[in-house]
Amino acid sequence: MDSFQKIGHQVMAMPKRKTLIFFVFLSLGLGVLQAQFVQEEEDPFKTFQETNGVANKLDFFYETPNRYKNSSAYDWLEVVKVYLNTAEKSKDTLGIQVYRLMQAQLYNDIADHYKSIAIANELFKEVDSLDSTSVKLILQLLDLNYGKLQMYDKQIEIREQMQALGITQSVPFYDIYANMGLYRKAMEQYILAVKPTIPDNDHLALAKHHNTVGYYLYLDKSPETATNEFKKALGFLEVYINDISKQKSDKDIFESEALKAEIEGNIGKCHVQLKEYPEAVPLLTNSLSVLEELNNGSYKKQIIDNTLNLAEAHLKLENDETAKELLDNEFEGITIKQEIKRNKLLADYHDKQESFRSSSSFYKRNEYIMDSLKANERSILQQQLVAIVGTSDLENSRRLINEQKLANEKIRSEIQAKDERINLVIISLIFTLLGFIGLVYAYLKSIKNQRLIAEQNHIIENSLKEKDSLLKEIHHRVKNNLQMVSSLLSLQTRNTKSKAAIEALEEGKSRVKAMALIHQKLYQNEDLSVIEMQGYIESLINSVQSVYKKGGHNISITVDAEGTELDIDRAIPFGLILNELVSNTFKYAFPESDDNGKIYIHLRKNGDEGYFEYSDNGVGLPEDTDERTSNSMGLRLINRLVNQLQSKLNVDRANEGVRFWFNFN
């Protein structure tokens, strides 16, 4: 008989009054024990320090969902630094690696991303001595830091390393699209990449999926549709929480509580977008309360977003002082967009209080931030375009081509093997069969060979059609991507006040259009190997005229390139050369009037020899052209492109206007 059975028998033997007193004291005792247990359980910082062993400390650090509940990340950082110093003095290699990894994570949690990246990169140099778990944690940390800093090219490099090491199956782009503001594209990519991987009975994963889809719709200013997705997410989450058949760990419970609070906050933000402020306030208040209690450094952005939206709702409901208290919070790790919104709300508050000087100061802060953003916007945009266009669509296209080539080789090998087997059978039958049987067999063999040839031709024709279709699709995608670049440059032009910057962007847009036109002509042609230059040159001139709307329409243009065809390796340099020459004529050749302006373009290709000539009757080149060539991007670009064609550019300024010509192979 165990101790619980003995206690039970003793209780049954007591009188009723004594039994009641016993249970009261028993309840109080259990309550004290439970309180002590909870108190100890609720101090992860203390438990971390009491945990023995470097590996155990690392496991506890990453498996504790609420490690900053009682102590901040700065407290953890100080303790980890002490452990690191001790490990360095004792030359404990494992300890140094583990505590440096924790240090990098803590710097990320306090938004010191550059320090976090520096430490993580130093650790990754020792990849050969690290276990797979540590490598995965380091790469995930680098990915997170680069994303926060909008260094998308670096982020994609890290993801490619993770794919090469087998940590991930693919390189996702949807979060990068979202950071670029392409929320619809981000949502489409996310659904394609994630939804097929979720089992129908994984209700927690489905809740996360619908929450993410809803958030992209919210960012895309579609609050009604977003709310429907958030409600689906809540439905799946309730099923997961109420499912008693699955045992849930403390980490699972923490994750589900945090997700529920996040979803409620997202619904509240949708109500703010819809100007339904009374409905938004309780949802945002409850979400903030839960997320602040559970905050482990991962919910800073959501907490700040919810606080700003709650302040906006209170301002609209005339609860000005409540809104001011929310806006006066110390926001650690606030983003630029959040800072702009906070300044706008503070300016609105001071406007309502008729404190116009304070209001003006917040408006000026936002102007300064916006000016800084515009100064950096162009380089960030170029980085994003290189990362997304260069890595995503073109790499996928190359992969499809390689797969198609392998499939074609496999078909040819199978046909060749089949022919060899048939020939062996025929040879053996020739030596064994005589006379009439041999003639009959020869006849049958002829029929069979014809059938095989027909099948082979059919397979090859289908393969060639698929290849042509694929190549057209590739050129179409490249053209679309270049058009997107041109559109983004147009958007940048509208937001740029500098005349020099506008001209540079327009020139860049014209060059991008020249390349896009090549790919458009290719996928429109039946023959994908060459481009008919007469039509291409005429289309290019029309494109340049559309850029320079105020000039070039009265100039008489003669194009002599009928019947000339060039491959893509020569067509692209020719397109860019023509783009520069025609643009220069439109801009500089006729400063007063272009009524009598003439342009002559001649292009011929006979066998391996070709000739190109361009001339106009404008004012000609200035005297210091040779000196300007080193400073002019257009002239330097023309010379480099001519060199690429293995030729040399000739310029004639003796007669009226200017004449350019060169021979090429």
Q: In what order do the strands lie in the sheet with 650-652?
A: 556-560, 598-606, 609-616, 658-664, 650-652
**pLDDT at residue 357 in the model:** 86
DSSP 398-457: HHHHHHHHHHHHHHHHHHHHHHHHHHHHHHHHHHH--HHHHHHHHHHHHHHHHHHHHHHH
Low-confidence winner among 12-21, 66-75, 335-344 (lowest mean pLDDT): 12-21
**pLDDT at residue 549 in the model:** 57
**pLDDT at residue 205 in the model:** 93
Cβ-proximal residues to 538 (8 Å cutoff; 6+ apart), any chain: 559
**What value does the mean pLDDT take over residues 282-302?**
84
**pLDDT at residue 388 in the model:** 47
**What value does the mean pLDDT take over residues 255-268?**
93
- pLDDT category at 660 given cuts 50, 70, 90 is very high
Q: Which residues of 76-110 are buried (b: 16+ CB within 10 A; e: fewer)?
A: bbebbeebbeebeeeebeebbbbbbbbbbbbbbbb
- Cα–Cα dist 406/654, whole Å: 58
Give me the residue label for tokens 């309180």: 35
* pLDDT score of 27 more than 60: no
* pLDDT score of 99 more than 90: yes
Which tokens belong to 630?
A: 């080193």
pLDDT tens digits, 585-632 = 888 888 887 778 899 999 998 888 899 999 998 888 877 666 555 567
**pLDDT at residue 279 in the model:** 95
pLDDT tens digits, 45-98 = 899 999 999 999 998 898 887 788 788 888 999 999 999 999 999 999 999 999
* pLDDT score of 646 more than 60: yes
* pLDDT score of 11 more than 70: no
pLDDT tens digits, 557-572 = 999 999 899 888 888 8
Cβ-proximal residues to 434 (8 Å cutoff; 6+ apart), any chain: none
Q: What is the pTM of this model?
A: 0.47
- pLDDT category at 553 given cuts 50, 70, 90 is low
Low-confidence winner among 179-183, 244-248, 303-307, 459-463 (lowest mean pLDDT): 459-463
- Cα–Cα dist 210/20, whole Å: 52
Q: Which residues of 41-60 are buried (b: 16+ CB within 10 A; e: fewer)?
A: eeebbeebeeeeebeebbeb
* pLDDT score of 22 more than 50: no
- pLDDT category at 164 given cuts 50, 70, 90 is confident
**pLDDT at residue 408 in the model:** 56
Low-confidence winner among 241-255, 332-346, 507-521 (lowest mean pLDDT): 507-521
Low-confidence winner among 134-143, 342-351, 507-516, 573-582 (lowest mean pLDDT): 507-516
- pLDDT category at 295 given cuts 50, 70, 90 is low
Burial class (CB in 10 A: 0-12, 13-18, 19+), 461: exposed
- pLDDT category at 394 given cuts 50, 70, 90 is very low
The share of the chain scoring above pLDDT 90, in percent, equals 29
**pLDDT at residue 529 in the model:** 75
**pLDDT at residue 662 in the model:** 93
**What value does the mean pLDDT take over residues 434-457?**
82
Identify the helix (H) or strand (E) that includes residue 190.
helix 183-194
Which tokens belong to 556?
A: 């008489």
pLDDT tens digits, 521-548 = 766 766 667 888 898 898 888 888 877 7
HSE of 287 in the Cβ direction (CA atoms, 13 Å)?
Answer: 28
Which tokens belong to 126?
A: 């020792």
Q: Which residues of 554-577 are buried (b: 16+ CB within 10 A; e: fewer)?
A: ebebebebeebbbebebbbbbbbb
**What value does the mean pLDDT take over residues 158-182?**
82
Higher-confidence residue: 385 or 363?
363
Measure CA 48 to chain center: 37
pLDDT tens digits, 363-378 = 888 887 776 665 555 4
